[in-house]
């Protein structure tokens, strides 16, 4: 059966990207764009004549290759975050199933506290007294059930691509990680056991509120009004206690996102210096993610609190 054109294009893109990592690439050599500043450079050039960036080994070049795996046109960082959340949900379910749980309708809203704790849920005593700071990051990739991850991933795909296009993938990833971690920091300070991507998603909402506050016009006012209404409803539901929402994580993510939205210029990087700064922020966020998951797996079998 022939694949749809979109998927055939994506597979060809993946093959080209993988070949690029091992020194391959397109069969016909052609001029290329500097990944740092966008200047057109020659076929055999290894360094940009405009900004001096290394076209093969710079952070910009590596980031370009990595983002190509997910498709340059399709919000690669948002796609990667979506995949990571789904994979961690699958890991959580398999871990519970290995212990004889996860059956029936429990997968809808109850994935098990013990497994979630071992996989890096946010918990104040473990963070502040056990120095398990990676939980501030790993917790945003864990969810309590299918309903939980379903609502969060729908919200991620609603807000993520537009903001990634606005800020660029590198700064967008930095915003996502920082706002999510700040939300769980506040949540842990309040003594909550918490998990989920909603703190980071509220961070994206906070960024959008900051953007609309910096731009005039009736459309921006309408978007801002809708966002504020949605946030108010979310916090009212959280205070009602009906759905077990973590208002502390939501508030922390929202405030952090609003602050970063005010700090960052709401546009793509415009020159080589801004590109380098953006890629540095993106790689810091990526390395923090990797380090956090490594620490989580290294400590997976540590004794539970009280044991």
CA–CA separation, 225 vs 73, rounded Å?
30
Would you say residue 154 lies in a domain? yes
Report DSSP letters for 87-138, one per residue: HHHHHHHHHHHHTT---TTHHHH---HHHHHHTT-EEHHHHHTS--TTHHHH
What pTM value is reported for the model?
Answer: 0.78
- Domain hosting 98: range is 89-298
Provide the CB-side half-sphere exposure for 36 (13 A, CA). Answer: 23
The yes-or-no answer on residue 250 being catalytic is: yes
Query: How many domains does the chain fold into?
Result: 1
What pLDDT, on a 0 to 100 scale, did the predictor assign at position 246? 92
Q: Which residues have C-beta within 8 Å of that of residue 159, sequence separation ≥ 6?
A: 201, 204, 205, 208
pLDDT tens sequence across 51-60: 655 555 444 4
The yes-or-no answer on residue 143 being catalytic is: no
Of 135-149, 195-209, 269-283, the one with minimum mean pLDDT is 269-283
User: Could you say which of 198, 225, 229, 240 is catalytic?
Assistant: 198
Q: Which residue has the higher pLDDT, 22 or 107?
A: 107
Would you say residue 55 lies in a domain? no
CATH code assigned at 111: 1.20.1540.10
pLDDT tens sequence across 202-240: 999 999 999 999 888 888 889 899 999 999 998 888 888
Would you say residue 104 lies in a domain? yes
Would you say residue 22 lies in a domain? no
What pLDDT, on a 0 to 100 scale, did the predictor assign at position 271? 84
Would you say residue 70 lies in a domain? no
What pLDDT, on a 0 to 100 scale, did the predictor assign at position 203? 97
Q: Which residue has the higher pLDDT, 255 or 100?
A: 255
Residues of the chain above pLDDT 70, percent: 72
- Please, are residues 149 and 85 in contact by the beta-carbon 8 Å criterion? yes
Confidence check: pLDDT of 177 > 90: yes
CA–CA separation, 51 vs 90, rounded Å?
44
What pLDDT, on a 0 to 100 scale, did the predictor assign at position 25? 44
Would you say residue 36 lies in a domain? no
Would you say residue 121 lies in a domain? yes
pLDDT tens sequence across 10-56: 555 555 544 443 344 444 455 566 655 556 666 566 666 566 555 55
Helices 247-263 and 198-214: crossing angle, nearest 10°?
A: 40
Q: Are strands 32-33 and 40-41 parallel, antiparallel or unpaired?
A: antiparallel
What 8-state DSSP symbol labels residue 55? T
User: Could you say which of 187, 194, 250, 292 is catalytic?
Assistant: 250
Would you say residue 234 lies in a domain? yes
């Amino acid at each position: 059966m022939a694949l749809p054109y979109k998927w055939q294009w994506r597979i060809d893109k993946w093959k080209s990207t993988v070949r690029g990592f091992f020194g391959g690439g397109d069969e016909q050599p052609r001029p290329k764009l500097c990944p740092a500043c966008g200047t057109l450079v020659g076929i055999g050039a290894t360094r940009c004549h405009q900004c001096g960036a290394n076209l093969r080994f710079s952070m910009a070049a590596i980031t370009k290759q990595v983002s190509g795996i997910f498709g340059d046109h399709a919000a690669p960082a948002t796609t990667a975050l979506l995949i990571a959340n789904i994979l961690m949900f699958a890991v959580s379910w398999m871990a519970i199933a290995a212990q004889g749980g996860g059956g029936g309708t429990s997968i809808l809203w109850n994935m098990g506290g013990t497994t979630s704790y071992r996989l890096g849920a946010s918990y104040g005593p473990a963070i502040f007294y056990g120095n398990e700071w990676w939980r501030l990051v790993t917790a945003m990739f864990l969810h309590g059930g299918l309903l939980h991850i379903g609502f969060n991933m729908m919200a991620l795909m609603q807000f993520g691509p537009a903001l990634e296009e606005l800020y660029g993938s590198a700064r967008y990833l930095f915003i996502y990680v920082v706002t999510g971690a700040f939300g769980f920091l506040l949540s842990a300070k309040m003594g909550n056991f918490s998990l989920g991507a909603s703190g980071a998603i509220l961070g994206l909402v906070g960024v959008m509120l900051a953007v609309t506050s910096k731009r005039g016009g009736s459309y921006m006012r309408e978007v801002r009004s809708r966002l504020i209404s949605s946030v108010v409803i979310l916090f009212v539901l959280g205070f009602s206690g009906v759905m077990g929402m973590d208002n502390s994580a939501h508030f922390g993510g929202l405030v952090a996102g609003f602050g970063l939205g005010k700090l960052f210029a709401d546009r793509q990087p415009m020159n080589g210096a801004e590109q380098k700064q953006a890629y540095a922020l993106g790689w810091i966020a990526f390395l923090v993610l990797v380090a956090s998951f490594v620490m989580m797996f290294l400590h997976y079998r540590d004794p539970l609190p009280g044991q």
